[in-house]
Structure formats: structure tokens, C-alpha cells
Amino acid sequence: MTRVASLDENLPPRTQHCLKVAREYWSERDPDKTKRVSLGVLKDHLLYTSDCDALPNLLVTRLLQEADKNQDGYLNYEEYLSFAEAAGKETRGRERLTNTALAVLPRFERTVKKRTYLQEFRCCPPPLFMITAALVEIGVFVYYASVMDEPVTENGPTPIKSPLIYNPFRRYEAWRYVSYTLIHSGYVHLTTNLIMQTFLGVLLELVHGWWRVGVIYLSGVLAGSLSQSLASPRAYLAGASGGVFAMSYAHVGNLLMNWSEMQYRWFQLVFTLFVTITDLSVALYDSFWAPNPSNTGHMAHLGGGLAGVLVGINLLRNLEKKRWERCCWWVALLLFLMCLVSAVLLNIFLPVPDFFPYGQK
């Protein structure tokens, strides 16, 4: 029992509960701690009993997925302790995050898959992409607010002559199809987009990483401008709405591919449906019945949202790949590529005279 004593001494104080649970569990079944116990019995004990609630989530997932190295369905006390060492590496912040999430998860729904999904949430590194995007957008807004000789209001000013805004008369400057996301018309426009994209994007970035979220966001921005240029060929375009709606609708792809593993699936589904129905209703009213239609780029919203769903299905982590999900992955990839290539070609070669404006403006 020398190894047991040394482990007990070396574990950090916050993981002593791991040993306490182990001793109590084995003492009831094997006081000498020399026999193996069924992994199936241990699984029920770890997932569904209250005395295991304080165990680090990392320990629980690793015990149930990796500890049985010889795949015989049993676990001994020494194997348990070796995994308890790994649990001691978890930070206090990680334990608070997982315990908070588990507190609102019904005990009968605490499966290994859901605990694994929860373990994917990461605060280190922090969600730098969405934070950086927000800071850059604020910086650009402050810059133009300082150089333009106009007061800043809730709806203006809009830097029409900026090399970043999407200008339909200068469509050959291809970067404008993406850079327009940095330009905003007034502080209300900026604030609304920042709140939405940060809230929705950070949730995804904590689980799926900055580069996946970055690709989804930029795909929504590009799809939004390509769609809007076809629907309103003479309209200027500014704002991060394409990326915002990509972030929002990417949650649909995440729900589709990870439904059974997610803790807050119904909340996310209701929230996404609310955003979808609200925006569609506003778009229809603004386009057909409003006495004074706004300058909102509704097609940019639609294009960004569609890109968010399709690219989200392809890029967001899928914890358990089923056969139908693989088919869904390929369908989403092909559909996105077809839409993207078609939109690009139409923006370049649309054979309709005078459809797109020409000249310098």
C-alpha cells in the first residue's frame, strides 16, 4: 500500500474528495482494496449519486472512458488512484464551471457523453477571436467618428467614402465583401451587433475553438455581402450582421449534430427560433408593408444565417458521429460550396445589362 500513501500525500487538497469517495466505495465492497469492481456498477455510482457531485468532471470522464485499459469491464483501486492524480491538475475555475453546469442538469441525464461535451468548454485560452473582432470594430467606429465632421447619433454618421464599406460602384475591390463588417452606422447599430456576436460567438468559441468560430463568422460575412449584392445591386452595405447571424444560426448546426450531448438544447432551440421568426417577420414587414422602409440588409441576414448553419455542421465538433450525421456533413458541405461559387460567379458574370452599377462613386 506504499503507492496509495504517496498518492494521498501528493494530491492537492481540492482533490482529496476523490480519495474519500474511493475509500468509501471500496470499503463497502472490498475493505482490503485488493479486488476489482465492475465498471458498470462504478459508472452508475459516479454518474447518478449525490456523493460524487463534487468529483472533478475530468476525473469522471477519464475513469469511465480510459481507466479500463484491458477492456475487461473491471477497475481496481490502484487504477482509480492513478486517474485521481490527473484530476488534481484541474483549475478551480474549471471545477466551478463544470459544477455550475451540472447543477442545472437533471441527474438522470448525466451521461458520459454529456460530461465529455461539458469538458470541451475551455476558458484558457480565452475566446480571443470574438473579443478581438469586437475591439477592432469599436476602434474603426471611434476612428471614423473622430475624423468625420458630423455628430455621432444612434443612426450615423456612415462613412460612405471609407475603403472598408461595401460600395456597389467599386465591386471590383474584392476586400469590401468582407471588410464592410467593420463599418457601422451609429452607436445603436454598433452596440446591437457587438452584444449579439459576442454573446453568441463566445459560447461557441469556448467549446469549439477560435479558428472554427472565425471561419464560420467570416463565411457569414462573405455570404451576407454576396447575397445582398444580388438582391439590391445598388445598395451600400455596412455592419457585422452577416457574421452575427452566422453565429446565431451556427447554434442550429451545433444542436443538430450534438443534440443528445447538450445541457441547454431546448433553451438554444427556442432562442434560435425566436431570433429567426423575429427577423423574418421584420424583414417581410419592412420589405412589403412598412410606410417608410429601413435600409436594413435583410438578404445579408439570410445569407449569413444560411452560411452559419451549413459551415457550422461542417466545422463544429461532433462528439459522436452517427451514419446520418456523416451524410448530413457531406450534404451541408456541397450545398455551401454550390451556393458560394454560384454567388461569386453571378457577382462577376451576371449576364443582365445594367444590373450592377458602374463608374466611380
Active-site residues, by number, are 241, 301
What SS3 state is found at 165? coil
Q: Exposure of 66 by Cβ count < 10 A (0-12 exposed, 13-18 middle, 19+ buried)?
A: exposed
Which cell goes with 281? Answer: 417577420
Q: Please, how many CA atoms are within 13 Å of residue 23, restricted to the half-sphere of its CB? A: 8
38, 43, 49, 50 alpha-carbon torsion, rounded to 10°: 120
Measured between alpha carbons, how far is 186 from 144 in angstroms, rounded to an integer?
11
Decide if 39 contacts 73 (C-beta within 8 A).
yes
Q: Exposure of 18 by Cβ count < 10 A (0-12 exposed, 13-18 middle, 19+ buried)?
A: buried
Cβ within 8 Å of residue 338, ≥6 positions away: none
Measured between alpha carbons, how far is 74 from 62 in angstroms, rounded to an integer?
14
Classify the C-alpha dihedral 167-191-222-270 as positive or negative.
negative
Measured between alpha carbons, how far is 135 from 130 in angstroms, rounded to an integer?
9
Decide if 342 contacts 233 (C-beta within 8 A).
no
Query: Which residues of the chain form beta strands (DSSP E)?
Result: 37-38, 74-75
What SS3 state is found at 161? coil
Q: Exposure of 351 by Cβ count < 10 A (0-12 exposed, 13-18 middle, 19+ buried)?
A: exposed
Measured between alpha carbons, how far is 82 from 320 in angstroms, rounded to an integer?
27
